[in-house]
Amino acid sequence: MDGIWEILRERLEYARSVPRPIEGIERSDLRRRDGTTYTVLKNPRGDRGAGLYLRLEPDDVALYELMDGHRAIQDILVEHLQRRGTFAVERLARLTAALAANGFFGEERPLLYERMARQRALRDPLTRLSLLLRRLIVWDIARWSNADPFVRGLYRAVGWLAFTRIGAAAVILLSVGGIVAYARETAAGRHSLVTVDGSYTLGIAVLILLQVLSISVHEAGHALGIVHFGRRVRRLGLAIYYLFPCVYVDSTDMTMTARRARITVALAGPLGGLLVGALAAFVAAGDGGLVGGLAYKAASLFVFQFVLNMLPILELDGYHVLVDLLDAPMLRQRAIAFARASVVRKLRRHERWTRSELGLALYGLLAIATSFVFIALSLALWDARLRAVATELLATGPAGVLGLGLLVVVFVGPLVIALAGIGVGWARRVAAIPARRARGARHAAVVERARVLAGIPFLRGLPGPALVAIASHLREVRADAGAAVVTIGEPGDRFYVVRSGRLQALGADGAVLGTIAAGEGFGELALLDHRPRGATVRATEDAVLWTLDRGHFERWIRERYEIAARIRASAEERARLAELPFFRGLEPQELERILPHLAAVRVPAGEAVFREGDEADRYYVIREGEAEVSAGGRAVARIGPGAGFGEVALLFGGRRTATVTAVTDLTLAALGRQAFAWLVHESGETMGEFRARTAHYVGAAGLGRAVGGA
């Protein structure tokens, strides 16, 4: 049993696990249009022998090449760090997960999440109905994961001729001649496109059969191109397509080749169909009877399919050719998303357009417009032709009704389901408007709370996501005027932020210790040090507060040492300010308001902080160093750390009455007059009341206006 647990421990411990790629992995190193490289790996055993593929960037390749079956994950990381200088733990985790999921380490992982997502999707009735209709439209009868020998035999027999220079030239010449012959026959009007012997029903049936034939020829062209470039036909299948059999080919193995080869294979299908269409056009030109009419229908269908497939606006062969030419994967999806989300915004804001943005906008708008055009063409075709078919079928009795019903289900059903899905989607969006508005209101409230939190001194500097996370845990409470929010001596269980209103901090004797205004917080020290409340906080007017409980406070604030240190440092700064005569008597909340407005100022030794006669606009506190105060050219005092000067500037403004010079390098904390006036106002006092309260200090003997007005 100990051996089993040891094996499990080794398998489950990621750092000690040893990735061992299977034998026979095929690798292709390829180059993009801009010259950068990438690599495609093929697991030949994956997907029941059809093969699985994985695309790697150069940084992934560097890690993959270290997987020799002997190095553990931790050894690969160390080796990669020594070679490249980067610790690629996240990239290696993603790479090993992708390799394992695609069977490069052995057995493929079961697609549990995909199955769960499918089961969840099947709960929707529209989804179930859509899948049922899809089985009627495309019914996979049989598939061969190793169809390569059959296709290679066909290639060796005749297909190789089309890929020689002479053969390719002959294909092009015959195709051009056939298009000319088809155009002449169309202009002559000898043949009908949608009727056989005057019957629309027979005409539509023949066109469906020819459509199946054209798809099979088209896929055969792709298959021969795959073999020509030495790749394998990953899978060949037989399916029922719109009630008729057809062949399809999986060309995924071409991802192992260069862009030029992929473009050639993409063109091989439409050109093969065009060649057959050209031959049919020659037959139609030489026969005016039934055979010529059938050939004309075949030529029409093959030519139409060629044009349709080569339109780069549709996600068909022409689109894949364009994607490879531009080396722009997911072009259609990115362009449509850009057209929907960014075009109007850029036009409205008159923003500049890059070449890539212009291309995306043009392609996206064309793709959207094409979708509407095809819907309009489908409706026009129904009105012009299919209505006549429906009339003929209804006239034939029950069998005709059954046939018409089947045609409607197969051909019209998907469109109806798609339109129903769009309708349901819009209905759900409309129904979700109240919920979206509620989510928007909640998000706006959280953003507002985060903005207020950013103004609290000890939280200042926290990244936005952290502030939003804290704000999401705040709960709103209301306090009526006169109601106590916290009581002195009780255990601290919450931190409070004032959203609106005003509160007072009261001592044990009922004396007012200070006021707390909107945007300020209180109660953090009791939570930080698990001490009882040091004051009673009572609402002086109706107030709204946000509270953070102990658990979230400890998670987001107390366990962050830099914030806890900031809170304690703030308390020490308050104590230092309280020792200054000018601030003596101010309450902790008032001192707390002052701290964020103190700006650091450095003055080298020998330079003046300010001179006599300068405009008085700031008050200073010395944190480090010494300074000399002089008036009228005579030294008055020498002051050091903890001393403050310039308070008359805060109270009265005017001009400096003394010069202060740095004896040593000085580090000062400066408080501006405007900020001080705002702080006095927030405390509930007027400037006049504050002047009266501090007059004893400004006029004190030994200091007076010489230092005070400095």
- What is the per-residue pLDDT across 530-549, written as a single tens digit (0 to 9) for each? 778 888 999 999 999 999 88
**395 or 548: whose pLDDT is higher?**
548
Distance (Å, rounded) from C-alpha 15 to C-alpha 75? 8
pLDDT tens digits for range 190-199: 888 777 777 7
pLDDT band, residue 636 (cuts 50/70/90): confident
Does residue 334 carry a pLDDT above 50? yes
Q: Are residues 190 and 255 in the same domain?
A: yes
Q: What are phi and psi of 157, to 5 degrees?
A: -70, -45
Half-sphere exposure of 171 (CA within 13 A, CB side): 21
Of the residues 528, 559, 590, the one at which a domain ends = 559
Is the four-CA dihedral 355, 360, 363, 366 of positive or negative sign?
negative
Q: Which of 140-154, 305-319, 341-355 has the lowest mean pLDDT?
A: 140-154
31: helix, strand or coil: strand
Residue 512 is part of a domain; what is its CATH number?
2.60.120.10
Tokens of 631: 């008036």
> Within the chain, how many helices (H) and strands (E) appear?
28, 22
Distance (Å, rounded) from C-alpha 663 to C-alpha 638? 9
pLDDT of residue 242: 59
pLDDT tens digits for range 683-710: 555 555 555 555 544 443 333 333 344 5
pLDDT band, residue 176 (cuts 50/70/90): very high
Q: If you ran DSSP here, which 8-state letter would residue 493 be given?
A: -
pLDDT of residue 406: 65
**619 or 608: whose pLDDT is higher?**
608
Residues 21-44, buried b or exposed e (16+ Cβ, 10 A)? beeeeeeeeeeeeeeeeebbbbbb
Q: How many other C-beta atoms lie within 10 A of the C-beta of residue 445?
A: 15
pLDDT of residue 67: 94
Residue 345 lies in a domain: no
pLDDT of residue 617: 80
Does residue 39 carry a pLDDT above 90? yes
pLDDT of residue 169: 93
**291 or 410: whose pLDDT is higher?**
291
pLDDT of residue 412: 63
Q: What percent of the chain has pLDDT over 70?
A: 75
Residue 595 lies in a domain: yes
Mean pLDDT of the chain: 80
pLDDT of residue 543: 92
Distance (Å, rounded) from C-alpha 118 to C-alpha 111? 11
Beta strands in 224-377 (DSSP E): 235-241, 244-250
**560 or 440: whose pLDDT is higher?**
440
Average pLDDT over residues 661-690: 69
Q: Are residues 229 and 315 in the same domain?
A: yes
Number of domains in the chain: 4
Q: Are residues 185 and 293 in the same domain?
A: yes
Q: Are residues 154 and 233 in the same domain?
A: yes
Q: Which of 276-285, 497-506, 695-704 has the lowest mean pLDDT?
A: 695-704
pLDDT of residue 277: 92
Q: Which of 598, 592, 593 minimizes the C-alpha distance to 570? A: 592
Average pLDDT over residues 565-593: 60
Residue 49 lies in a domain: yes
Q: Are residues 18 and 98 in the same domain?
A: yes
pLDDT of residue 703: 33
Does residue 364 carry a pLDDT above 60? yes
Q: Are residues 182 and 91 in the same domain?
A: no
Residue 126 lies in a domain: no
**672 or 577: whose pLDDT is higher?**
672
Q: Are residues 86 and 163 in the same domain?
A: no
Residue with tokens 């931190």: 495
Q: Are residues 157 and 271 in the same domain?
A: yes
Residue 245 lies in a domain: yes
pLDDT tens digits for range 207-234: 778 877 888 888 899 999 999 999 988 8
Entry pTM: 0.57
Interacting residues of 56 by C-beta distance below 8 A, sequence separation 6+: 38, 39, 40, 41, 64, 95
User: Please, are residues 41 and 25 in contact by the beta-carbon 8 Å criterion?
Assistant: yes
Q: What is the dihedral of CA 518, 523, 528, 531, to 10 degrees?
A: 170
Distance (Å, rounded) from C-alpha 655 to C-alpha 649? 8
Q: Are residues 258 and 299 in the same domain?
A: yes
Q: What is the dihedral of CA 420, 422, 425, 427, to 10 degrees?
A: -70
Residue 35 lies in a domain: yes
Q: Are residues 544 and 627 in the same domain?
A: no
pLDDT tens digits for range 15-31: 788 899 999 999 999 99
pLDDT band, residue 410 (cuts 50/70/90): low
pLDDT of residue 701: 33
Of the residues 61, 92, 109, the one at which a domain ends = 109
Of the residues 109, 135, 167, the one at which a domain ends = 109
pLDDT of residue 705: 36
Residue 244 lies in a domain: yes
Residue 572 lies in a domain: no
363: helix, strand or coil: helix
Q: Are residues 149 and 275 in the same domain?
A: yes
Does residue 97 carry a pLDDT above 80? yes
pLDDT band, residue 664 (cuts 50/70/90): very high
Domain, as residue range, for 612 = 579-708
User: Which strands make up the sheet holding 666-672, listed edge to edge?
Assistant: 599-603, 666-672, 618-624, 644-645
Q: Are residues 536 and 585 in the same domain?
A: no
Is the four-CA dihedral 91, 93, 98, 103 of positive or negative sign?
positive
Distance (Å, rounded) from C-alpha 150 to C-alpha 156? 10
Does residue 250 carry a pLDDT above 90? no
